[in-house]
């Protein structure tokens, strides 16, 4: 290219323009800026996490003493009627009902062995020439042993458990009942000794019953269990007063003593083989029943097999409370009328109306 003449302007070329010249002077296009990494920015209405962190979510309260509900018994349906029938069927076939039935039979034997003498005192007084005063000594000899044995029996039950003490108690009073005919034939005082032994052995019955109900039944069923057991207690009075005259008329005066004593030995065999001290020791109890009993005994410490309570009962603390003496007084008044009627009713009918009491 020829150089320009004088007075001519130099043409604007790209080679003569500096690199920083604007593009419209040089005719070149502006290149787009290099792409940057896309970063997500929060919208202007949302605060930044570093300056203002997100609000904390409220904490849910911790579950305390949350127990898993006991599963429904096998065969229970969703309907209320079906579930009630299943619960009733489970209760009637459960192992704990067998315990209550055995306790009721034990208390029935306890009272039957006791009231036999109330019926036998009439022919025995005629056979041996006893005066009414001496007949009262023979009748009250049972209560001599029964006076202290409930206290001692309660301590033994707390130490050894209800099953073991009940087995020994029933075996001992059945032996005393069975031995009564032999003792009466040998010596009068030996016969009275057997009656004292009967009272000592029968004093452990109610403490054992309370201990077994406490271990085998939940809190919601303990009243029902005590009702079943005490029904057997009163059934013994009925059986003893009703069957003793019939048995005496067939087998002699001492027939009821032998028969009721043998029934006691049979009861002991069944009790030892079929009943355990706690539900956890029973080999045939169902998982549902064991869970049901355990869940219903929240305030009861489970008794481990072989565990013994070495704490002496606080007798001084108990006897220093007015409610204790109120219960003792009420029980004393009840026993006064109960045992007077139970012991002397056959003698009364025989004395007042011999013809109407021929069975005695």
Which one is predicted more confidently, 75 or 245? 245
Q: What is the structure's pLDDT at 108?
A: 92
Give residue 70's pLDDT band: very low, low, confident or very high (50, 70, 90).
low
Q: What is the structure's pLDDT at 342?
A: 77
Which one is predicted more confidently, 247 or 339? 247
Q: What is the structure's pLDDT at 218?
A: 87
Q: What is the structure's pLDDT at 198?
A: 92
Tokens representing residue 142 in the block:
């049972």
Angstrom distances, CA of residue 87 to CA of 72, 75, 149, 240, 334: 8, 9, 39, 35, 37
Report the alpha-carbon distance of residue 320 to residue 360 in Å, rounded: 46
Q: What is the structure's pLDDT at 44?
A: 53
Residue 63 has pLDDT above 50, yes or no: no
With tokens 């069957």, the residue in question is 243
Condensed to tens digits (0 to 9), the pLDDT of residues 255-282 reads 899 999 999 999 999 999 988 888 888 8
> Residue-wise over 217-253: b if at least 16 C-beta within 10 A, else e?
bbeebbeebbebbeebbebbbebbbebbbebbeeeeb
With tokens 């040089």, the residue in question is 26
Tokens representing residue 91 in the block:
């209760």
With tokens 């419209």, the residue in question is 24
pTM reported for the whole predicted model: 0.67
Q: What is the structure's pLDDT at 50?
A: 47
Give residue 32's pLDDT band: very low, low, confident or very high (50, 70, 90).
low
Residue 137 has pLDDT above 70, yes or no: yes
Average pLDDT, the chain: 76
Mean pLDDT of the region 325-347: 82
Q: What percent of the chain has pLDDT over 70?
A: 68
CB 113, CB 262: distance < 8 Å: no
Report the alpha-carbon distance of residue 8 to residue 1 in Å, rounded: 14
Q: What percent of the chain has pLDDT over 90?
A: 17
> Residue-wise over 324-350: b if at least 16 C-beta within 10 A, else e?
eeeeeeeeeeeeeeebeebbbbbbebb
Classify 92-316 by CATH class: mainly alpha
Condensed to tens digits (0 to 9), the pLDDT of residues 107-118 reads 999 989 888 888
With tokens 């579930």, the residue in question is 83
DSSP state of 305: T
Give residue 338's pLDDT band: very low, low, confident or very high (50, 70, 90).
confident
Listing DSSP states for 85-125 in one string gives HHHHHHHHTSHHHHHHHHHHHHHHHHHHHHHHHHHHHHHHH
CB 154, CB 209: distance < 8 Å: no
Q: What is the structure's pLDDT at 66?
A: 47
Mean pLDDT of the region 147-154: 86
Residue 147 has pLDDT above 80, yes or no: yes
Residue 40 has pLDDT above 70, yes or no: no
């Amino acid at each position: 290219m020829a150089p320009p003449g004088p007075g001519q302007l130099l043409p604007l070329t790209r080679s003569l323009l500096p690199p920083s010249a604007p593009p419209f002077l040089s005719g070149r296009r502006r290149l787009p800026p290099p792409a940057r990494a896309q970063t997500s920015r929060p919208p202007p209405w949302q605060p930044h996490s570093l300056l203002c962190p997100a609000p904390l979510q409220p904490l849910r309260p911790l579950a305390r003493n949350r127990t898993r509900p006991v599963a429904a018994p096998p065969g229970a349906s969703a309907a209320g009627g079906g579930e009630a029938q299943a619960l009733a069927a489970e209760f009637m076939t459960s192992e704990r009902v067998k315990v209550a039935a055995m306790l009721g039979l034990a208390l029935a034997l306890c009272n039957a062995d006791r009231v036999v003498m109330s019926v036998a005192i009439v022919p025995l007084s005629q056979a041996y020439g006893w005066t009414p005063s001496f007949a009262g000594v023979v009748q009250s000899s049972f209560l001599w042993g029964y006076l202290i044995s409930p206290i001692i029996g309660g301590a033994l039950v707390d130490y050894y458990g209800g099953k073991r003490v009940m087995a020994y108690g029933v075996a001992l009073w059945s032996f005393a009942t069975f031995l009564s005919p032999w003792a009466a034939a040998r010596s009068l005082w030996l016969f009275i000794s057997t009656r004292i032994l009967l009272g000592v052995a029968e004093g452990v019955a109610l403490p054992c019953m309370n201990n077994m109900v406490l271990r085998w039944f939940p809190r919601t069923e303990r009243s029902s269990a005590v009702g079943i057991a005490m029904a057997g207690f009163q059934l013994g009075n009925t059986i003893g007063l009703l069957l003793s005259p019939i048995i005496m008329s067939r087998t002699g005066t001492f027939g009821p003593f032998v028969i009721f004593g043998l029934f006691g030995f049979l009861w002991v065999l069944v009790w030892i083989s079929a009943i355990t001290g706690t539900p956890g020791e029973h080999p045939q109890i169902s998982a549902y029943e064991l869970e049901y009993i355990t869940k219903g005994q929240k305030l009861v410490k489970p008794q481990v097999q072989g565990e013994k309570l070495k704490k002496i009962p606080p007798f001084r603390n108990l006897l220093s409370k007015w409610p204790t003496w109120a219960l003792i007084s009420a029980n004393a008044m009840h026993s006064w009328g109960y045992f007077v009627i139970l012991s002397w009713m056959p003698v009364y009918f025989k004395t007042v109306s011999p013809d109407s009491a021929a069975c005695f």
